[in-house]
A and B are shown apart, each in its own frame.
Chain A
C-alpha cells in the first residue's frame, strides 16, 4: 500500500520563525507532489505543486522541494505569521495511476503564536 507520512504531527512556533514541514512517500513512481492548506471547517487550498521533473517550487514565503530518490518533500515557510496557522497536507500523485487520485499524509497542524 502506498504511504505518505508527515512529520511532525503538530508544531507550535513564535511569530517570525522560519520552519520546515516534512513529507515522505513510499511510491517512487511519482507524477507530482502537492502541498495543501486546510483551515478548520474549510476545504483544502492548493499551495504548491511540484512536477516529478522539478526540484522545487516557490510562492511568496513558501518554498517546496522534492527529492524523488529519497522519497521526500519539504515545505519551507519563511518568517511565519499567525495567519499561517492551519493544517498542512502533502499529497502524492502516482504516475502508475490513470485517475489522478491523490494519496495524502495525515497532516501537520501548525500554530504560530503572536
Chain B
C-alpha cells in the first residue's frame, strides 16, 4: 500500500559533482516517469519507462542526464557534472499501464537538488 518514494529528499551538490536520485514506484506499476520542476514552474517531462525499457527520453535536457530502470522497478536518475541550472525538484511518478484510459500517475514527494 505504500506510495511512490524518492531518496534523498534533499541533495546539495557542488558544481561539477555527479548525483544519483532514486525512485521506488508503487509495486506492480509498469510505467514510470521523471519530471523536473523549477522553482515557481510546473513539472516538465524528462523521460519515460515501460518496465525496463526507456521508451521516451525526449525531455532530458542534455547528455549529462541519464536514467535507468534495469529490473523494471526501481529507477535512478543520474546527473553528471552538475551545473547551477540543474537546481530543481525532481519528481518521479508511476502508473499501472499508460494505455488504460482512466489511468492516473501517482507522484512521489520529489528530490530537491541544489547545486552551489
Q: How far is the CA of A18 from the CA of B109 in the complex (A)?
A: 29
Residues of A within 8 Å of B109, CB to CB, are 41-43
B-chain residues with CB within 8 Å of residue A6 when the two chains form the complex: 42
A99–B102 alpha-carbon span in the complex (Å): 14
**Cβ proximity bits A40-78 to B, threshold 8 Å, 1 near / 0 not:** 011111100101000000000000000000000000000
Given contacts A43-B109, A44-B91, A99-B48, contact A107 B42 (CB under 8 A): yes
Question: In which size bucket is the chain B interface?
Answer: 20 to 34
Across the interface, which residues of B come within 8 angstroms of A51, CB to CB?
Answer: 101-102
The answer to whether the Cβ of B25 comes within 8 Å of any Cβ in the partner chain is no
Q: Are A102 and B105 also in contact (CB < 8 A) when A4-B42, A44-B91 are?
A: yes
Are A103 and B45 also in contact (CB < 8 A) when A42-B109, A43-B110 are?
yes
Within the complex, which residue of A34, A101, A105 is in contact with B56, where a contact is CB–CB below 8 Å?
A: A101
From known contacts A42-B109, A43-B4, A49-B102, infer whether A100 and B95 are also in contact, taking CB-CB under 8 Å. Answer: yes
Contact of A43 among B31, B50, B59, B91 (CB under 8 A): B91
> B41: which A residues are within 8 A, CB to CB?
106-107
Report how far A101 CA is from B4 CA in the complex, Å. 17
Is B103's beta carbon under 8 Å from chain A? yes
Chain B residues positioned under 8 Å from A41 (CB to CB):
109, 112
- Whether A34 contacts B104 in the complex (CB less than 8 A), given A43-B109, A101-B48, comes out as yes
List 13 A-B residue pairs with CB atoms under 8 Å apart, sorted by A's residue number: A4-B42, A34-B104, A42-B109, A49-B104, A51-B102, A98-B98, A100-B31, A100-B33, A100-B98, A100-B105, A106-B40, A106-B42, A107-B42
